[in-house]
Structure 1
Amino acid sequence: MKIAVLPLRKGSKGIPGKNKKKMLGRPLFSWTIGAAIFSNLDAIYVYTDDEEIITYIEKEYGWCAKVKAVPREASTAIDTSSTEEAMLAFTSQLKENYSVLCLLQATSPMTTSEDINAVLEKIDYQYDSALTVVKTHRFTWNADGTPQNYDPFNRPRRQDFEGLLVENGAVYATTKTAFLQSKNRVSGIVGLVEMDEASYTEIDSLTDWDIVEQLLASRFQKAKVQSKIQYLVLDVDGVFTDGSVFFGAEGEMMKRFDMRDGMGLEILRQNNVEIVVMTSENSVLVGQRMKKLQIESVFLGVKDKYAFLTQFLEVRKASFADVAYVGDDVNDLANICSVGWSFCPADGTEVVKRHADYVLTQNSAAGAIREACEIIMKYNKRYE
């Protein structure tokens, strides 16, 4: 059994609440969890002293039996605690047996399931442990003014310089035997897996945060592929509605919808485009409206929309290229950056407008969905 532990501490000195801060619309730790879910790991344990994160894990990832939250011992979550201390404490609490222990880091959002699988494969090929590294072509020096890795009088060109392999802290894996003997994340015969140099940026300041967020968005956008649209995925508040909610003494009373949107969606369905509704809110009114529109794929209370959409498409044996997505706010960003075609209503947030493929001319609850439907119909004709 191959398991992973993701140690998270409640406190953070450099960026307060860093693990829960949203990067591209998702809590930072969600990026690593999402990659782990779609890897060859059998179980992923989030080991944390943060009750809010534990509650989030239990609510958000109920669709994936691989993800579990485990309360972290307070003695391993102080400033002086080492990661190895947390790993040892975690394994002492663990009831399940395992053959490989993988250490994942929440501060490495560039990690992919392929990176995790590559590290696990090293263990399969008789390595005792393995880790991810990046190649740097920087010239390094000792504190005493002497060069470490090159001759200053024979400075090599970049293309002729092999460079150095540096840990990026993203993924580590070790056999159970090696870990219990060494009490260290790496020991014995060590295998190396090279990741892209962009994964080396440390997130220690808000400037670092902005850089990594831009790198992450750029990676998704460069990987975009378009094909015939088979699924239209829609947010609700700020897309179907104008974002206004009317409350009474008993709670939510009214939301405003545009009838023209319903006709546009009906036309799309008649042309074999499946309508999918995905919202972070768990609203009875939304459920009733979608039933009226005869939309069957309705998912309420979804916070991690990117992981959920990935799982949805995997089940359908489809890809992000087959999807058009309409969203208006930060929790839609990861999907906006990833799908074949993304749309934002005219009154959506500026950050989503910057990343969307198409900014609609109509506002939410005022024809935005109908406009998107008409664009998709015209686009799909090229595949007829």
Structure 2
Amino acid sequence: MKTIAFIPVRGGSKSIPLKNIKEFCGKPLVYWTIKAAAETKTIDEVIIATDHEEIETVVNSFGFSKVSVYRRNKTNAQDSSSTESVILEYLNARKLDKNDAFILVQATSPLLTANDLAAGINMFDKQEYDSILSCVLSKRFFWKENGDPINYDPYNRPRRQDFEGINMENGAFYINTVGRIEESRNRLSGNIGISLMPEYTDVELDEEDDWQRAEILMKKYLFPRETKKKISLFISDIDGVLTDAGMYYSENGDELKKFNTHDGMAFQLIRENGLKTAIITSENTELVKRRANKLKVDYLYQGKRDGGKLSAALEICKKEGITIDNVAYIGDDINCFELLSMVGIAACPSNALNKIKDIPGIIKLSRKGGEGVVREFYEEVLSKIL
């Protein structure tokens, strides 16, 4: 049996045009819920159902290995189309096992995290409930139009700390089995359980006014936790990061590499902000030595393979009197895995190996190696914390 996350993102939003790929906290909106689902270990597949080519291109650019795109029928992507209609369309096309767990995730809930999804799945797996939905505990007082109170006695008004509150659906996720969804034609059915999320996750991005509030909440509670770390050392790989990983040879057989000048300026800006810099690579060439000298890096370690990169980084940390948690590193290949898994801030180019992209908490940059990926890392991450 599988656990599948399903995120519908149509292109025809009227309130906010193409809102699902509108920038939210520096990334397209849909990135955040995809990231949450992809980083949830108990989710096997993440399906993005869209009718829009540009959305598909953006989703594919994220590079999450669990994620695939389903091109939904345009008849189920209209203003009047229900979410259930595209769910049932997909289930009919895919023919899944009826016992598979199916999680509807809403792209308009960017404050959703992998921990929230894992908690909901854990609750569902206990089989005490047939389906699960996410809610927040609201301690607000609600009234009917006729003036009748819904959830409290106005003549015995409770203090907030004594008020039990009421569970409010926040639209972040819904869990059911494929079979029960097909039978009921609804995301929820049977005995329904509630998985509580933090109160600040009550916001959904349906209108322009929601956007600013949600970004403030994201930056306050979630955005990115890695940036709260104190970074004292920046390390970069060479091939696949500072270069495009291509192998070029002159007519005389000399090996050539293509570097990006924007990365050179990034190293200068990083140094000017007081960080030490280093290059650690499995290569061992005079060419790399010359490039490192031009970049004025503080440390150059060449020929580091099979765990040698982590050892080199730890040696630098000892010399600088810092810990590995004070290190930011960009790598792209399997020999970077150990070091990327240990540093305070880990990042990779968009064309890194899937195993690298799947490292928990790694920052997936939008540029490929050799295209100024270090400059992007400086501008989008380091400059905001230095």
TM-score (norm 2): 0.66
Rounded Cα–Cα distance in structure 1 between residues aligned with 2:330 and 2:225 = 24
Which residue in 2 is equivalent to 1:311?
358
Q: How does 1:24-63 map to 2 (within 5 A)?
A: 24-39=25-40, 40-61=42-63
Rounded Cα–Cα distance in structure 2 between residues aligned with 1:232 and 1:110 = 31
Rounded Cα–Cα distance in structure 1 between residues aligned with 2:377 and 2:214 = 16
3-state SS, counterpart of residue 79 of structure 2: coil
Which residue in 1 is equivalent to 2:175?
173
CA contact (8 A) 1:22 1:28 kept: yes
| Runs of 5+ unmatched residues, structure 1 | 244-256, 280-296, 316-325, 337-342, 345-355, 359-384
Identity of aligned residues (%): 32
Aligned: 1:157 with 2:159: yes
Which residue in 2 is equivalent to 1:201?
203
Q: How does 1:1-384 map to 2 (within 5 A)?
A: 1-39=2-40, 40-61=42-63, 64=65, 66-97=66-97, 99-126=100-127, 127-220=129-222, 223=225, 226=229, 232=235, 240-241=264-265, 261-266=295-300, 271=316, 276-277=329-330, 299-301=348-350, 311-312=358-359, 333=380, 336=381, 343-344=382-383, 356-358=384-386
**Deviation digits for residues 178-226 of structure 1, max 9, x if unmatched?**
2122111111011111001111112133331111112111113695664
Aligned length, in residue pairs? 294
| Runs of 5+ unmatched residues, structure 2 | 243-259, 268-290, 302-311, 318-323, 333-345, 363-372
**Deviation digits for residues 226-251 of structure 1, max 9, x if unmatched?**
478686469978653379xxxxxxxx
CA contact (8 A) 2:3 2:101 kept: yes
Give the aligned residue type for 1:122: M
3-state SS, counterpart of residue 33 of structure 2: helix
Deviation for aligned residue 1:168: 0.2
Would the alpha carbon gap of residues 165 and 330 (structure 1) be closer, same or farther in structure 2, given more than 3 Å must change?
Answer: farther
Would the alpha carbon gap of residues 109 and 298 (structure 1) be closer, same or farther in structure 2, given more than 3 Å must change?
Answer: closer
CA contact (8 A) 1:265 1:275 kept: no
3-state SS, counterpart of residue 70 of structure 2: strand
Which residue in 2 is equivalent to 1:294?
none
Which residue in 2 is equivalent to 1:380?
none
Rounded Cα–Cα distance in structure 2 between residues aligned with 1:155 and 1:298 = 51
Would the alpha carbon gap of residues 219 and 302 (structure 1) be closer, same or farther in structure 2, given more than 3 Å must change?
Answer: farther
Rounded Cα–Cα distance in structure 2 between residues aligned with 1:301 and 1:183 = 38
Deviation for aligned residue 1:177: 2.5
Give the aligned residue type for 1:241: M
CA contact (8 A) 1:122 1:129 kept: no
Would the alpha carbon gap of residues 275 and 84 (structure 1) be closer, same or farther in structure 2, given more than 3 Å must change?
Answer: closer
Rounded Cα–Cα distance in structure 2 between residues aligned with 1:237 and 1:37 = 34
Rounded Cα–Cα distance in structure 1 between residues aligned with 2:43 and 2:33 = 13
Which segment drifts farther, 187-196 or 199-208? 199-208
**Deviation digits for residues 90-129 of structure 1, max 9, x if unmatched?**
1111144361111001001111111111111222111210
Please give the root-mean-square deviation of Cα atoms over the aligned residues, in Å. 3.5
